Structure 1
Amino acid sequence: MRTPRAPRAALLALVVPFALAAPASSAAAFDFADVAARAEALAARPYQVRGKVPDWMLESAGTITYDRWRDIRFRPDHALWRDRGLPFEVQFFHPGLYYDRSVQIHVIEDGAEEPVPFDADRFDYGRNDFADRIPRGVGYAGFRLHYPLKTPAYRDEVIVFLGASYFRALGRDNVYGLSARGVAVDTVEPSGEEFPSFTDFWLETPAPGARHAVLLALLDGPSVTGAYRFEVHPGVETRVAVRAKLFARRRVKKLGLAPLTSMFFFGENTTRGFDDFRPEVHDSDGLLLHLASGEWLWRPLENPPRIDVASFGAHDPRGFGLIQRDRDFRSYEDIETRMELRPSAWVEPLAPFGPGRVELVAIPTETELVDNVVAFFVPDAPLEPGRPIDLAYAVSFYSEHPARPPGGRAVATRRDGGTEKGNERFVIDFDGEALRALPADRPPTAVVTTGGGPASAEILDQHVVKHPATGGWRLSFQLRPKTPPPIELRAYLQTEGHVLTETWSYALVQ
């Protein structure tokens, strides 16, 4: 059995449950405004870590190993709302092992909040003998929401909240892959990254026949607090509408909004070798960006030799996402992980993000067991104490979407050393309905540019040919660098001045 991806040490910081003052008024239903008031009150106080799980329950103590933790099973018949026959139900994760902070769970029933305390009877401890040592009120590590995605007779997992501010969701035909986060703080900054955590959740009891679920969350961390509202719409494409209000305890220079986190170990564009029977190993293979100008940009992912940060100026972007574009099983040949079924995630602002940039961070890795790719929007203005920001966006988890982008797309990127020493050769396959309709004797024109212009590199041996297997078009060219890397590249196909494809973007870093 393949072990789950081990979270980075910093990702494990979960802040424990606690009750703040100023509960909801009995005259009004508990809602987002109440959580925002608690987040604002928290921001005015010094940060304090609460509710640590007892040390003996953590992996470091050796009592609860990975295998023993796996032997703790939630009892499905004890799921929240199971006895009421509602379309949604909730199952909980046991604290311990990696999860050294618990979260407080509440339900909202008829507008009033009620706690859902930890209950060891919800779990089957298997061969473990420590159930009677679990402290009462320790809290849960997280939870998962179930809904009948594939058939009315079975409630499938739809979304999981587990660890820091992470959540993962599934479209109908997906298996788990990449994650989203509530917020990113100082990612790859010299000062070190912070990982604020969701500490409290409020689950609205769904109505009979409901087709979406609503939950609220309180975020806390050394520099940032926040209130969140998630509206989960399961389906072929599961859409999570997010409303958030963020407060600063102290000035945050680099705030990552709507962050997505994924894994890229190696792919068709990887030139260094790995001892692995699989042709490719990744949860996502590219960043897709839709700019306010209407341009679509595709950036293939890399496992770089050193930390690589790519920044894309994006005033009020229309959307961005980490995409698993290659859906062919033969590209992975992995019958356990089924990477061709991993979801893509697309962020769509529902209110303008304002001036800023989309940042793509790639971290070197020698294993597939860590997430090493992060993408988020960074506003130009820092988050300041006393100046909260409001956000509204949706994150969609899905397999395919014909309108992202609506035109031709780069479906494969390959490279080698070319035909002369010092050169780099790139081979990019483009596909799409309009491209397939072009006859072989009327090839489109390729526009290939380098970030520094002719002074940085020379483009040689450029060709565009009809792809006999797909009906699309293959662009190939060689690059002769004149300056040290990194060298930024862009390419797209057009015909008679009409752009046919997204813009392929690449950084030659070695």
Structure 2
Amino acid sequence: MPLIDRRSLMIAGGALTALPFAARAAPGAGTPFSWNIVQQRAAALARQPYRPPTPVAAAAAIDFDAVGAIRFRPDRTLAGGIRLFPLGNGATLPVAINIVEGGRARAVAFSPDLFEAKASVPPGFAGFRIMEAGRESDWLAFLGATYFRAAGSQDQYGLSARAVAIDTGLDGREQFPRFTEFWIEPTGTRHVIYALLDGESVTGACRFTSTHDGGVMQDVSVVLHLRRDIARLGIAPATSMFWYDDRAQRGATDWRPEIHDSDGLAIWTAGGERLWRPLRNPARPTTDSFDATDVRGFGLIQRDRAFDHYQDDGAFYDRRPDLWVEPRGTWGAGEIMLYAFPTTSETVDNVAAFWVPAAPARAGQRLQFDYRLRWTSQDPSADRGARVVDARVGDAGRPGAAAVAGARKLVVDYQGDGLIGLTRDSGVVADLSIAHGRLLASAAYPVVGQRDRWRVTADIAPDPNATADVRLFLRRGAAALGETLLFPLDLT
């Protein structure tokens, strides 16, 4: 997984005033265009040897501060509110950009006059963003490799998506195919974005039908052609940052109580079970997998949205969007993988989640995946039962007494409408199972003064040389009352 410099991306994607849009292409201009044409180009490209792109030499000299000083001229804004990113030392590979109107595509020609800058602007475009009409912000941006981001429902960027992940989490083997050409078709409040993808092991055609109305929704179609066998093919990948929260501040040097873009992975299984796996900043790279055959949905979620938990009035981590993936059609057998590596900074994206098909990814295959992306601040994985709102770890044993050696206490709070009216006499129990560890004691009870909140406490002895995998949910009789917590627990 790459060390994504979030600061550079956020500077490049900063808000500019949206002035009236430039005139559209004249009728009959450009060349014929269709979704089929993009797919045909991807298929033809897969039959050719991979040719590494040539960076623009002048872009390497444009450092972070210089890139931040280059601004696309508001009066040159393209149809549909489109503005273009300049090249710089963090983005030295140009992409071709076309505007589509009436079934015809018109290439956008580079000119330094498109930008306001104190120094020369290297030739070419690094990507683009789409401005909100009449507002001083943008809501969608494509920049770098196959990365893209949306501002969600609170006008705030956070985590990123990618078109595909290749060998993420495999030591030194990850590849980063890139978008080489875009076609953008703005129609009212909807933007259809087509992209040609090229890389060492894969080519592809991508279509993103994007709307912005109280959040951002994208209907995505990705058609891949494999040039080579791929050990780990990641579909619908999301990339985020988790430095620390109030559970663990190892390596934290900042005064803010929490710093993260997402705090958990949510999964909705084919059988209807809701899973919640809190994120963490691991001491070493980790890869976890979860069965996701015919998965209904999954995503990286920012569940904690209390401003005072972050105290950040500049980066606004309480406003960072969730990213929820809903497969279209049947994806079949596969698993969700969660990869994380250590970070000591909020500028590095250190978490990735994606779906991996069970069938081997072999050279010569054509694979198609259709899905919907929802960028929102309303947790789409929540239901009317109960969800995990806190999970904390401390010393095992009775408070005030000596800690139990070789054990830890896990304290989990559930909250939801399904808990209202339940008492200690309602037959609610904590259903716990533990791999690589032993349960010493547990209890489940309503939190005093909270009408819809229950607490589970569990003293657990992990195996000395392994991380205990805890699986927990509240149950009343045979019925689960909400989502299942998946929690890694060790003695550190």
Same fold (TM over 0.5): yes
C-alpha distance in 2 between matches for 1:272 and 1:116: 48
CA contact (8 A) 2:444 2:454 kept: no
C-alpha distance in 1 between matches for 2:458 and 2:168: 35
Aligned counterpart, 1:167? 148
DSSP-derived class of the 2:318 partner: helix
Seen in structure 2, the aligned counterparts of structure 1 residues 170 and 212 have a Cα distance that, compared at 3 Å, is same
C-alpha distance in 1 between matches for 2:217 and 2:427: 39
Match of 1:80 among 78, 81, 91: 78
CA contact (8 A) 1:141 1:162 kept: yes
Aligned counterpart, 1:435? 419
Report the Cα offset of residue 221 of structure 1: 0.6
DSSP-derived class of the 2:37 partner: helix
Aligned counterpart, 2:132? 147
Seen in structure 2, the aligned counterparts of structure 1 residues 295 and 103 have a Cα distance that, compared at 3 Å, is same
Aligned counterpart, 1:458? 439
Aligned counterpart, 1:424? 408
Report the Cα offset of residue 68 of structure 1: 1.8
C-alpha distance in 2 between matches for 1:341 and 1:470: 26
Match of 1:412 among 357, 374, 390: 390
Report the Cα offset of residue 6 of structure 1: 5.7
Match of 2:50 among 47, 50, 55: 47
Report the Cα offset of residue 458 of structure 1: 2.6
- Describe the superposition over 1:169-201 as per-residue Cα deviations: whole angstroms up to 9, x where unpaired: 122314110000000000111351001111100
- Is the counterpart of residue 332 in structure 1 residue 334 in structure 2? no
C-alpha distance in 2 between matches for 1:129 and 1:392: 43
Aligned counterpart, 2:18? none
- Is the counterpart of residue 393 in structure 1 residue 371 in structure 2? yes
C-alpha distance in 2 between matches for 1:253 and 1:273: 33
C-alpha distance in 1 between matches for 2:451 and 2:66: 49
Aligned counterpart, 1:185? 166
CA contact (8 A) 1:29 1:110 kept: no
CA contact (8 A) 2:384 2:418 kept: no
DSSP-derived class of the 1:164 partner: coil
C-alpha distance in 2 between matches for 1:309 and 1:347: 20
Q: CA RMSD in A?
A: 2.1
CA contact (8 A) 1:443 1:466 kept: no
Seen in structure 2, the aligned counterparts of structure 1 residues 312 and 467 have a Cα distance that, compared at 3 Å, is farther
Seen in structure 2, the aligned counterparts of structure 1 residues 229 and 155 have a Cα distance that, compared at 3 Å, is farther
CA contact (8 A) 1:265 1:282 kept: yes
Seen in structure 2, the aligned counterparts of structure 1 residues 370 and 273 have a Cα distance that, compared at 3 Å, is closer
Seen in structure 2, the aligned counterparts of structure 1 residues 500 and 105 have a Cα distance that, compared at 3 Å, is same
CA contact (8 A) 1:174 1:398 kept: no
DSSP-derived class of the 1:337 partner: coil
TM score, norm. by length of structure 1? 0.86
Report the Cα offset of residue 461 of structure 1: 4.2
Matches within 5 A, 1:97-108: 97-108=89-100
CA contact (8 A) 2:98 2:106 kept: yes
- Describe the superposition over 1:42-84 as per-residue Cα deviations: whole angstroms up to 9, x where unpaired: 1111111234211x421xx4xx222222111111121101xxx
User: After TM superposition, what 4+ stretches of structure 1 lie above 6 angstroms from structure 2?
Assistant: none
Match of 1:478 among 459, 472, 476: 459
Q: Aligned partner of 2:120: which letter?
A: F
Aligned counterpart, 2:115? 123
DSSP-derived class of the 1:437 partner: coil
Aligned counterpart, 2:341? 363
DSSP-derived class of the 1:354 partner: coil
DSSP-derived class of the 1:415 partner: strand
C-alpha distance in 2 between matches for 1:336 and 1:154: 19
C-alpha distance in 1 between matches for 2:484 and 2:72: 47
Report the Cα offset of residue 96 of structure 1: 1.2
Report the Cα offset of residue 368 of structure 1: 1.2
Aligned counterpart, 1:498? 479
C-alpha distance in 1 between matches for 2:171 and 2:88: 30
Aligned counterpart, 1:489? 470
Report the Cα offset of residue 156 of structure 1: 3.9
Report the Cα offset of residue 484 of structure 1: 2.3
Which shows bigger deviation, 238-247 or 400-409? 400-409
Match of 2:269 among 291, 302, 305: 291
Query: Identity of counterpart residues, as a percentage?
Result: 38
Q: Which runs of 5 or more residues in structure 1 are unaligned?
A: 8-25, 82-87
